[in-house]
Amino acid sequence: MGWWNRAVTGLSVVIPAYREAENLKSILPRLVRTLKAACSEWEILIVDTMEPTGDGTEEVCLANGATYVNRKGGNLYGDAIRTGFAAARFERICVMDADGSHNPDDITRMIDTANLQNADLVIGSRYTKGGHTENPSVLIAMSYMLNVTYRILFGIKVKDVSDSFRLYDAAKVKSIGLECDNFDIVEEILILLGSRYPNLRIVEIPITFDKRDKGESKRDLKKFVRSYIKTIRKLMRIRIKNRKNRSADTGDNV
C-alpha cells in the first residue's frame, strides 16, 4: 500500500522565495487548486528572507492561503531549505521554485507516482524520457556537465540530480544533517539520503522546466563556475563523514 493511502495524509509544499511576489501571485492560486484536489491535508510554506524585503511577499501569502515563514540561520538558499524542512508539519514534503519554472499541476503526478510505486523520493526530471527544459543552451550544457559529474563521482542513479522539484518522505529527509548553503544542497540531499538509506526508492517523472515567469534569476553563473570544484570536494567530505557516522551507529567497519 502506498503512503498516500494511509489514514493520516498530508503534504507540505516548501517554496524558497526572494523577491518573488509577482510570480507567487500567479503560482499560488494554481497550487491551491491542485492541492485541494489531490490532498486531504496540506500547507504551503513560502520561505522568505530573514527580514521582509518589502516586496509584498507576505501579503501575497496571506491572500492566497500560504504560510509566510522567515529564514533562520542566514539568507542563503540552503538556509531556506533547512528552515522549510524544519517548519513542515506533514509526512511528505514537496519542494518547488517560486519563479514559475515548476508547474504546480505536476504535483498530482508526483503524488500518484509515490502512491503507485511506493517511492520514498519522486524527482521531477528534465532529463528522463519525456522531460524537457526551456533554459538557454549554455545553461543546459552546464547542467548536463554537472549531472554527469555527480552521477559518476557519487554513484547517484538518477538522470536529474540538480533540479529541486521533488517529493520527499519527510521523516527521512529530516533525519539527515544538511550543511550546504547554496544550490548544492539539492545534490547534498540526494547524496546523504542515499548514504543513510541504501534501499531508498527513487522514481523520476518527466517534467518541463519552464523559463522564469517574471523578474531576474538569482543564480550567479560566474560564482557557480568558481565554486563548482569546491562544492564537489565539500560533498565528498560530507558523504565520507556521514558514512563514518552511520558505521559507528551500527557498529560496522568503514
Q: What is the pLDDT of residues 102-159, one digit of tens each?
A: 999 999 999 999 999 999 999 999 999 999 998 888 778 888 888 888 888 888 889 9
Q: Which range marks the domain in which residue 134 is found?
A: 3-247
- Contact predicate 140/133, CB 8 Å: yes
Distance CA 201, CA 246 (A): 19
* Tens-digit pLDDT profile for residues 59-79: 999 999 999 999 999 999 999
What nine digits make up the cell of 46? 513560502
- Cα atoms in the 13 Å half-sphere on the side-chain side of 99: 15
Q: Is 254 a member of any domain?
A: no
Number of domains in the chain: 1
Distance CA 99, CA 213 (A): 6
pLDDT of residue 226: 62
* Dihedral (CA of 86, 87, 93, 99) sign: negative
What nine digits make up the cell of 197? 538509506
pLDDT of residue 36: 95
The CA–CA distances, whole Å, from 250 to 153, 236, 246, 247 equal: 25, 21, 6, 5
In 3D space, the residue among 108, 92, 114, 102 whose CA is nearest the CA of residue 34 turns out to be: 108
Residues 6+ apart with CB under 8 A from 130: 206
- Contact predicate 176/192, CB 8 Å: yes
User: Residue 254 — very low, low, confident or very high, per pLDDT cuts 50/70/90?
Assistant: very low
Q: Is 175 a member of any domain?
A: yes
% of the chain residues with pLDDT over 90: 66
pLDDT of residue 219: 56
Distance CA 244, CA 246 (A): 5
**Domain CATH for 167:** 3.90.550.10
Q: What is the pTM of this model?
A: 0.88
Q: Which strands, in side-by-side order, build the sheet including 67-70?
A: 67-70, 42-48, 11-16, 92-95, 166-169, 121-125, 202-206
Q: Is 161 a member of any domain?
A: yes
Q: Is 225 a member of any domain?
A: yes
pLDDT of residue 110: 96
Specify the higher pLDDT residue, 6 or 19.
19
Q: Is 252 a member of any domain?
A: no
